[in-house]
Structure 1
């Protein structure tokens, strides 16, 4: 079997893949944190995990793992900024899967394509972190936020979880602004607050643990806790401000992606009302698909030679091109 396509979404919550081959579709997931090396994404370890998820996803769904994938696309968190050498994924995955073409892009690019197809607009990608991309996939590339849980990612999963845990700890201490319902959920999930402190500060991925509390903050908000509801309302406002900041030079069409938006009305109403208040002509387009869907669409387009690189957001490697397979970069796009 040959000619399959694979879309890979690598975010703070793990790896998700979508594979199409021989008329069959397969899905796979690895929920472990993204491997790091000195703060950067460890691409060699990541490649091994991607390969395992793709192969495990395909085996139950199709007779055999495809001998050759015509195209694969990987949307990876931390690109640009925390990905040192995207060609590492080409070297590790190209021969293993007989790739005709590989796209390595920021997960904000695959989320954008998943949400809007290949149409221009602004897409907020909110999961463990937050990064927003306003682009026409040509000359306009506006990034907003995406600075990590210590410097930014305002309104993202780690931000929501952190504020929820802070409110729980205030209740534990008897300080003003605390939330007893969130304290109950903290102890149910993590045990004593001292156990939480050890877990977060000793972790190689503290953002992952902070974000894991976001669903508990949503539960408390829906149960009527005003502190939890205020956290979600502020998260929506932060995402709305981030979205508007990325709209320069574009038709004001907005969409979204990422698992944080599973919070639905807790997040989407304050998000959209903030955007409308700042940009009255804004229009909203519900996402067509996920980041993995966007990666799959990029894989198909790359196999047909329809994707060109836009550094530092999108790299294209192909077996038919230069010795390394890397396509030469065009003039730098306008970024902000």
Structure 2
């Protein structure tokens, strides 16, 4: 006989990103009860495919919560790509999935509040995309970057991936082969699962920025293999992220700088370039838990 665990009311914090989603359940005192992972999604639910991805992720998280015997009493979620244009539709999706109203905000706000209290500093994030944000004590926000892979997102995983593919095929156009960048070509093709341009094109133009971002790991592996271009590209990514910090400082004034996001861990060259570009500034590289912070914000 299957034993169904007793349901415990809990506050749920969810961090939904392009390459993965994380959830944490806390009791009313903010003590962690359980946590879990799901696939990536975005709030670009005006796109049918992205809407289906988000619905799938929410359904999966709901199943995981039930498995832990957790009944959502409150939901706070940060979503990449969230904005006023999708606010009403997104809230309906969350209500349908969890049976309670959700407090939704974008991943940029979620990232800041997981690191600083309003007014304490500047946050620069480098994940699948990139952005910088300062939230003042009165709630006013100043943001730089974060305009998506088709426009910018410099220094992010997707930016690194696309610059690498661009350079790789320019080399092929010049030489008719990939011999000048053997390690990078190998790692890109291993990640794609094929060597033909048709396959790489499909991988890139599938419309899934999270999938594109996985190619940044291939660039990282090529750099660790000694590929000079890959190493320099990752240093360049660090310099681009430092520019985001500089722009925030020009807009708001000097303040502690916190660099966060998985792209920072691709290679030591990224952090080295940030440190060198911003020498003398108050810099940290925290590892915030946005889902936990959301769950604990009663």
Query: What's the TM-score bracket when you normalise by the shorter of the two chains?
Result: 0.7 to 0.9
Match of 2:202 among 198, 205, 210: 198
2:24 aligned with 1:18: yes
2:60 aligned with 1:53: yes
Aligned partners of 2:48 and 2:25: how far apart in 1?
27
Shift of 1:293: 2.9
Match of 1:72 in 2: 75
Match of 1:290 in 2: 289
Match of 1:183 in 2: 185
CA contact (8 A) 2:164 2:219 kept: yes
Match of 2:245 in 1: 243
Match of 1:9 in 2: 15
Q: How far does the alpha carbon of each residue in 1:250-295 deviate from its partner, in whole angstroms, 9 at most, with x for none? A: 551111222212225221121232233xxx4x21233252332333
Match of 1:272 in 2: 275
CA contact (8 A) 1:17 1:28 kept: yes
SS of equivalent to 1:132: strand
Please give the residue correspondences for 1:116-131 in structure 2 after superposition, counting only pairs within 5 Å. 116-117=116-117, 120-131=120-131
Shift of 1:143: 0.5
Name stretches of at least 5 consecutive residues in structure 1 with no aligned partner: 302-336
Shift of 1:159: 0.7
Match of 1:328 in 2: none
SS of equivalent to 1:72: strand
Aligned partners of 1:208 and 1:113: how far apart in 2?
23
Match of 2:3 in 1: none
Aligned partners of 2:215 and 2:64: how far apart in 1?
28
Match of 1:252 among 255, 259, 266: 255
Shift of 1:241: 0.4
CA contact (8 A) 1:122 1:255 kept: yes
Residue 257 and residue 16 in structure 1: after superposition, are their counterparts in 2 closer, same or farther (change >3 A)?
A: same
Match of 1:323 in 2: none
Match of 2:114 in 1: 114
Name stretches of at least 5 consecutive residues in structure 2 with no aligned partner: 1-6
* Number of aligned positions between the proteins: 285
Please give the residue correspondences for 1:32-47 in structure 2 after superposition, counting only pairs within 5 Å. 32-34=40-42, 36-38=44-46, 45=52
How much is the aligned-residue C-alpha RMSD, in angstroms?
2.9
SS of equivalent to 1:125: strand
Aligned partners of 2:17 and 2:284: how far apart in 1?
23
SS of equivalent to 2:35: strand
Match of 1:160 in 2: 160
Q: Provide runs of 4+ in structure 1 moved above 6 Å.
A: none
Aligned partners of 2:48 and 2:88: how far apart in 1?
15
CA contact (8 A) 1:257 1:291 kept: no
Residue 135 and residue 267 in structure 1: after superposition, are their counterparts in 2 closer, same or farther (change >3 A)?
A: same
With structure 1 as the length reference, what TM-score do the two structures score? Answer: 0.74
Moved more, 190-199 or 219-228: 190-199
Shift of 1:137: 4.9
Residue 185 and residue 221 in structure 1: after superposition, are their counterparts in 2 closer, same or farther (change >3 A)?
A: same
Aligned partners of 1:138 and 1:31: how far apart in 2?
35
Match of 1:216 in 2: 218
CA contact (8 A) 2:260 2:285 kept: no
With structure 2 as the length reference, what TM-score do the two structures score? Answer: 0.83
Shift of 1:144: 0.6
